[in-house]
Amino acid sequence: MTDAAPPVSLLVFGGGWLGRAAALEAIRRGGTAVATSRQAETRRALEMDGVRAVDPDDAAALAEAVAGATALLITAPPEATGCPGLKALVPAITASGAWPDWIGYVSSTAVFGDRAGGWAFEDDELNAASLEGARRVRAERDWLDAGRGMGLTVQLLRMPALYGPGRSPVDRLRDGSARIVRKPGQVFNRIHLDDAVAGIFASIARPRPGGAYTFCDDEPAPADEVIEGAARYLGLPRPPEVDIDDPSVSDAMRRFYLDSKRLSNARAKAELGWRPRYPSWRDGLEALIRVGG
């Protein structure tokens, strides 16, 4: 990961996989990190990793955490009623009297909707094809409105499917859950967890109010190509080929197949100086296999 960003005091709303990784990176860079979770077990795990954890429903604790933060990262997914991070953090900012230098909302490239294999850029019209994508569109809008209304620097960080240690085609092939679904012309981008975290810190280092960035790899590719390639690297048999409606295909995977698009990361490279360490799925999977992930 790049070390472009100076040490920060980071508050992560949503201490899941990405949120935890970002918090640990803030500490590695010499800063501090607090992460939220409503789950006591998750909070304990974060504390064991050296990340201070708070319950987002504890308004006083959250306001205290906001008061000590120079950067806020929202990774929690939106709900039917909107972004839970927005609902909790705006009152906490007001209560604490603190004004963070940077707020990053982690969104999804599902906001672009289907492009029939064409390219999607940050300033394109949004046309989400799924309920989850539509909720992301609303959350983006609400965060930008809040930023303008409160004079805060809000940036949108759009990401496709993340993969990394413990969560990749390598793991699905090893545990036997991998399936090949073919849909002619279907392409996706991906992003390795390390590259996503590096993008977050590149954005913190170069805040731009209202900025939107797509963090993804350089090579869109069909999901079946990636699964078959990973099987070859591992020396494993090709997994079974199934129809998209087969019960073994997860709802999350079906949602991916609603969209076909190629994502551009040119703005993130030009404005933030960010470059993916793993520019293709091959680079990322080979690295995971080397380290046993």
Which CATH number does the domain housing residue 27 bear? 3.40.50.720
Place of tokens 């809008």: 141
Q: Supply angle C-alpha 201, 207, 127, rounded to 5.
A: 90
Cβ partners under 8 Å of residue 248, min gap 6: 177, 179, 242
Token representation of residue 154: 């809000």
Domain assignment of residue 207, yes or no: yes
User: Where do we find the tokens 């991070």?
Assistant: 85
Is 120 a domain residue? yes
Query: Domain for residue 181, yes or no?
Result: no
* Structural domain includes residue 230: no
Mean predicted confidence (pLDDT) in 173-202:
92
Measured CA to CA in angstroms, residue 171 lies from 161, 219, 261, 292 at distances of 15, 21, 25, 10
pLDDT of residue 1: 44
Domains held by the chain: number: 1
> Does a structural domain hold residue 65?
yes
**Domain of 148, in residue numbers:** 9-163+190-221+262-278
| Residue 135 and residue 78 in contact, taking contact as beta carbons nearer than 8 Å | yes
In a domain, 1, yes or no: no
Rounded to whole angstroms, the Cα distance separating 163 from 190 reads: 7
Top-confidence residue, 239 or 252: 239
Residue 245 lies in a domain: no
The least confident of 17-31, 92-106, 250-264 is 250-264
Residues of the chain above pLDDT 70, percent: 98
pLDDT (tens digit, 9 = 90+) per residue, 241-273? 888 877 877 777 777 777 899 999 999 999 999
> Residue 138 has which token pair?
């609303």
